Amino acid sequence: MSDNREKFLLTASALMEKQGYCGTGLNEILEKSGAPKGSLYYYFPDGKEQIASEVALRAGKIISGRIQERTRDQPEAGKAIHEFLYTVALRMEETEFHTGSTITMVAMESVAQSQRINQACREAYGMIIDAFKGVLLNRGMEEAKAVGIAEMIVAAVEGGIMLSRTYQSADYLRRVADHIRQMLDSKIN
């Protein structure tokens, strides 16, 4: 829990979110973090692979945490998730669309690169799916149905983020959010 370790991981997250795993060099992370060069392999003895794994897990924790927090006060599932996704869209605009896809960036490359990173990405996505599932369960949806719908939400949202990133317009994600809300409202039957 050292300060320099934390600084390093934070910078690595930002850079990999923007450029991906292969596109981000250790030297670049070192530079931008301002962390001491000598301590890299002290904190991360397994090198880049370990760093990327921790970046993915960290993102999974943060995002699932945000989902829980920001949906807490809204009793309707559709409205709660819709509001959350709109804040994500806003954040994408504020960060020049270099945000909202840490896990995706690392996950896509990991399949051909590293078993360890791939496993971390699975766990990270698992946390997010579980978070959405929790929102649905708390509003009275039955377990079996909630898992499937939570997966659908994650798929649609990740795709929407990807389109928004490519076209540099958060409206793709917003339309996905609108559709999800509409779907959830109709599923209440």
Q: Is 4 in the site for DNA (CB under 7 A)?
A: yes
Q: Smallest gap, in angstroms, from Cβ of residue 52 to DNA?
A: 10
Rounded CA separation 105/103 (Å) = 5
Based on the number of CB atoms within 10 Å of its own CB, is 69 exposed (0-12), middle (13-18) or buried (19 or more)?
Answer: exposed
What does the per-residue mask of binding to DNA show for 7-46, with x meaning CB under 7 A? -----------------xxxxx-------xxxxxxxx---
Q: Smallest gap, in angstroms, from Cβ of residue 38 to a copy of itself?
A: 27
Contacts of 2 (CB under 8 A, 6+ apart): 43
Selection from 157, 152, 153, 151 nearest residue 173 by Cα: 157
Give me 177's structure tokens: 């959010």
Q: List helix spans (H) across the chain.
A: 3-19, 26-33, 40-43, 47-71, 77-94, 102-110, 115-138, 143-167, 171-187
Q: Smallest gap, in angstroms, from Cβ of residue 5 to a copy of itself?
A: 25
What does the per-residue mask of binding to DNA show for 97-136, with x meaning CB under 7 A? ----------------------------------------
For DNA, give the closer residue by CB, 29 or 177. 29
For a copy of itself, give the closer residue by CB, 42 or 111. 111
Q: Smallest gap, in angstroms, from Cβ of residue 29 to DNA?
A: 8
Q: Which positions touch DNA (CB under 7 A)?
A: 2, 4, 24-28, 36-43, 47-49
